[in-house]
Structure 1
Amino acid sequence: MARSNTRDEILAAAARQFAAAGFKGTSLHDIAVEVGCSKAALLYHFDSKEAILTELCAPAIAELAELDTRLTALGPESARVAAIEGFVDLVMRYRKEIQVIYGDLPALLEQPAFQHVQLMTQRLQECLAGSSATLTTQVAAKIVLAGVSATAFACTDHSDEDLRPALIEAAGRILAPLE
């Protein structure tokens, strides 16, 4: 009789494996061994390694889409504040998934389930940079996106309650005032 939580165990093991070895560096066999099941049992629950990754990241991608939608209805200054706070909250909530995505970003963006993530991230960057979109403001926006993500999963020695406001304040400092 199959364990009822095998699917969840597969997702948890995949998250750990992807975070440690990257998406490309993790095999279905690695995940199956950690779960204690056969590769065939794993494939019963998921069609492929890509399907595991897609399901793992689906909640984070859905929240990114919600943030993207919210930002379109706001003016430039309100959108920037909402973008900073929304992105920090998203990263804090999905640290492992973000670590996996950033670890193998070029390869992952080629996966069908992640193609729209690149567009949403571009719109988020534009919201952070503002309408002037000089090279300096574009670079600052990219630093905020990459820096918030990297810092969130590197600062495990700080509580979320302490880290969140520090990330928001630092992001605001990096970005030039909107014109």
Structure 2
Amino acid sequence: MSGIRYVRGDATDPMGSGSRIVAHCSNDTGGWGRGFVLALSRRWPQPEEAYRRWYRGRAGNDFGLGAIQLVPVDQDLYVANMVAQHGIRSAARVGRPPIRYDALAQCLAKLAQHASRLEANVHLPRIGAGLAGGSWDVIEPLIQQHLADHGISVTVYDLP
């Protein structure tokens, strides 16, 4: 069984070589402008552009909770836009946080298929545990189950 590796660093500058996927959670409202996505947009314009097109065309595509969009950003480097938040944090001040663990599990299962096909390692911040309001104690086992237990190398980045 593979584990999850934790490092200090920037998930938008994934370590190593070969195929790599930088994964993150996004919301189902088309919003892009807070949290980790700002770092993504500073590094590469393609993930935001693709996400906004995907959202605008949602009536005719698979956009929604549990969906994933793989966006090439460089040679052997991809960003996975994973829709695992219902709404945004500011709208959820009372009641349930935006993260949807069932949608995240669906996204991670799809991410595993892409990573296996591309023979890619997965790199991510502590997805779902920031603005999405989720618990890392719930999210980490999902990553283990859907990625690491299937032999996919996973690196989680904490900013220095």
TM-score by length of 2: 0.29
Structure number with larger C-alpha Rg = 1
Structure showing greater relative contact order (alpha-carbon pairs closer than 8 Å, 6 or more residues apart):
2
| Greater helix content | 1
TM-score by length of 1: 0.27
| Greater strand content | 2
